[in-house]
Amino acid sequence: MAGHSKWANIQHRKGKQDKLRSKLFSKLAKEITVAAKMGDPDPEKNPRLRMAVKEARSSSVPKDVIDRAIKKSLGGDAENYEEIRYEGYGPGGIAIIVEAMTDNRNRTASNVRSYFTKHGGDLGQTGSVSFMFDRVGEIMYPASAGDADTVMMAALEAGAADVESDDEGHWIYTGDSDLAEVSAALEASLGESETAKLIWKPQAPAEVADLDHAQKLMKLIDTLEEDDDVQNVTANFDLTEDVAAQLG
């Protein structure tokens, strides 16, 4: 499926989640706090919070960290975070979307701009690259959930828009406003998914076949992801198997 799982595997092989585990926990906890503050603190009554808690659990965030994040939203001491999207081009003209959650817009904008500049990219205006992506819901199941035909039938019956399967697992796509409903329907037929979240899905990923180009691009993405204000980074590229193996 257009390199999606290969990319996930590269991230895994690099030990990226282990290296940034504390940062990952912090980012997921921030999303939980904001989701709870914006809506109901009960995940069953708040779809965004429910998805945030699911994502945290799938990343092995301890229950007490999740509970603390929800309680923080009720205590009145939670920071007022603003959600901001930045768009730009990385080395080689690869389109990049950066989603941030910040209590200081000027700090975050300055940092993101400097990362792009330092690593051979160019920060653009909002809307400059997002037209190359679709805003969709993504629900991921492991390969053990069933064969491709079984998952496809369950997904279609649940109201999903598309399914992509390979040896690593199944990625089920929905309209952005249908994620919670489709996710709940799938749980009844396939059990609980590993993740369910809104993503920016590249429409036509650009192939990166040059190792030096790939290394520069990965450095920019790594630097962006290491920023405490940045929640998600999405780029429209696909590594060739040869380059992926060298990076891994």
Q: What is the pLDDT along the chain (248 residues), one digit of tens a residue?
A: 333 444 444 444 445 555 567 788 888 999 999 999 888 889 888 888 998 998 898 888 999 999 999 988 887 666 788 899 999 999 989 999 999 999 999 999 999 999 999 999 999 999 999 999 999 999 999 999 999 999 999 999 999 999 999 888 999 999 999 998 999 999 999 998 988 989 999 998 898 888 999 999 999 999 999 999 999 999 999 888 888 888 86
- What pLDDT is recorded for position 123? 96
Q: Where are the alpha helices (DSSP H) in the chain?
A: 4-13, 16-19, 21-38, 47-58, 63-74, 105-118, 148-158, 179-190, 211-226, 241-247
Largest CA distance in the chain: 51
- What pLDDT is recorded for position 9? 41
CA distance 174 to 47: 15
Name the CATH superfamily housing domain 16-74: Integrase, N-terminal zinc-binding domain (1.10.10.200)
Q: How many CB atoms lie within 10 A of CB 64?
A: 8
Question: Under a CB-based contact definition with an 8 Å cutoff, are residues 81 and 102 in contact?
Answer: yes
Could you tell me which CATH class the domain 85-131+204-247 is placed in?
A: alpha beta
Domain(s) of CATH 1.10.10.200: residues in the chain: 16-74
- Here the tokens at position 190 are 């396939």
- What pLDDT is recorded for position 114? 97
Domain(s) of CATH 3.30.70.980: residues in the chain: 85-131+204-247, 135-202
- What pLDDT is recorded for position 73? 85
The dotted CATH code for 135-202 is: 3.30.70.980
Give the distance from CA 25 to its chain's centroid: 14
**Residue at 85: amino acid letter:** R
